[in-house]
C-alpha cells in the first residue's frame, strides 16, 4: 500500500527542519514537493525549480491555481514576493555551478554508502534521468524522501542498489515513513524513529547495515 497523507506530511515536515533562511533549495516531485507547506511563515528560504522558477511559495488553494505557473513536475505553485522566472538553461546553470544548498528528491533505492537510484522504474518507459543527475552531483546536501519498503515489503535501503544508479555516494540524509538516517563515511546512522516504530522494526525492514546514534530521537 502507498503512504497516507499523514505519513507523507510527517516526512516532509521533518525534511523542512533541515532548511535554514537564505538557503537555495530544490524540491523534487512527489513527497518532496510537500516540504513547501511545512516551512515557517515569513521564512527566507528560496525555493528553486529546474523549469525556471526561483522563489516558489506554498501550494495554491483549489480553484486559485495559475495555469502558467508550475514546478518541474507540472504541478501548480505560487510565487513569493521577490521571486523571479528564468529559462531552464539558467535554472540548470544554478545547479551545475553548485549554487543549490539543499536538494530534496525521491528515490527507488539508496545504498548504505549513499548511492542513489531514482530514475529507472521497473517495467515502465522513462525518458531519462532528467535533472536528478545534476542535482545528485552538484547539490551541497542531498536529502532523500522515500517509502522505507516496496509495496511487497522488500527493503529500499540496501547494502548495494540493484537498479541503475543516478549517482554514487551523493546522499547525505534519508527520511522514510519509519525513520531518519544520516549517511556518514562509515555508513548509515539511525538518528530518528517515527512512532510507533521501534529499532527492531527498522532492523527487520532494512537490508543496509546501520549504527544507532547516541542521541536517537523518537518522533511522535
Residue pLDDT, tens place only, 181-204: 999 998 999 999 999 999 999 999
Residue pLDDT, tens place only, 148-171: 999 999 999 999 999 999 999 999
Confidence of residue 74 (pLDDT cuts 50, 70, 90): confident
Q: If you classify domain 5-38+102-219 with CATH, what class do you get?
A: alpha beta
Query: If you average pLDDT over every residue of the chain, what do you get?
Result: 93
- 211 with 188: CB under 8 angstroms? yes
pLDDT at 3 over 70: no
pLDDT at 1 over 60: no
Residue pLDDT, tens place only, 98-124: 999 999 999 999 999 999 999 887 777
Kindly report the pTM of this predicted structure: 0.93
- 102 with 145: CB under 8 angstroms? no
Strand duo 179-184 + 187-194: pairing: antiparallel
Query: Known catalytic residues?
Result: 50
Say how far apart CA 103 and CA 95 lie, in whole Å. Answer: 10
Where is pLDDT greater, at 1 or 211?
A: 211
Looking at residue 29, its pLDDT comes to 87
Q: Which secondary-structure segment (H or E) carries 144?
A: strand 141-145
Amino acid at each position: 500500500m502507498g503512504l497516507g497523507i499523514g505519513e507523507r506530511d510527517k516526512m516532509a515536515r521533518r525534511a523542512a527542519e533541515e532548511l535554514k533562511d537564505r538557503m537555495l533549495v530544490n524540491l523534487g516531485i512527489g513527497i518532496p514537493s510537500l516540504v513547501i507547506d511545512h516551512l515557517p511563515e515569513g521564512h527566507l528560504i528560496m525555493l528553486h525549480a529546474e523549469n525556471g522558477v526561483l522563489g516558489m511559495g506554498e501550494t495554491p488553494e483549489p480553484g486559485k491555481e495559475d495555469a502558467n505557473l508550475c514546478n518541474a513536475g507540472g504541478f501548480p505553485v505560487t510565487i513569493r514576493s521577490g521571486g523571479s522566472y528564468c529559462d531552464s538553461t539558467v535554472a540548470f546553470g544554478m545547479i551545475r555551478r553548485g549554487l543549490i544548498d539543499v536538494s530534496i528528491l525521491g528515490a527507488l533505492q539508496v545504498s548504505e554508502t549513499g548511492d542513489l537510484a531514482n530514475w529507472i522504474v521497473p517495467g515502465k518507459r522513462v525518458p531519462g534521468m532528467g535533472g536528478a543527475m545534476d542535482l545528485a552531483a552538484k547539490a551541497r546536501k542531498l536529502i532523500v524522501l522515500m517509502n522505507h519498503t516496496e509495496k511487497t515489503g522488500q527493503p529500499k535501503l540496501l547494502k548495494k542498489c540493484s537498479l541503475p544508479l543516478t549517482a554514487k555516494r551523493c546522499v547525505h540524509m534519508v527520511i522514510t515513513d519509519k525513520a531518519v538516517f544520516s549517511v556518514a563515511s562509515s555508513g548509515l546512522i539511525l538518528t530518528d524513529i517515527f512512532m510507533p516504530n521501534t529499532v527492531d522494526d527498522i532492523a527487520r525492514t532494512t537490508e543496509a547495515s546501520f549504527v544507532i546514534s547516541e542521541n536517537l530521537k523518537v518522533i511522535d
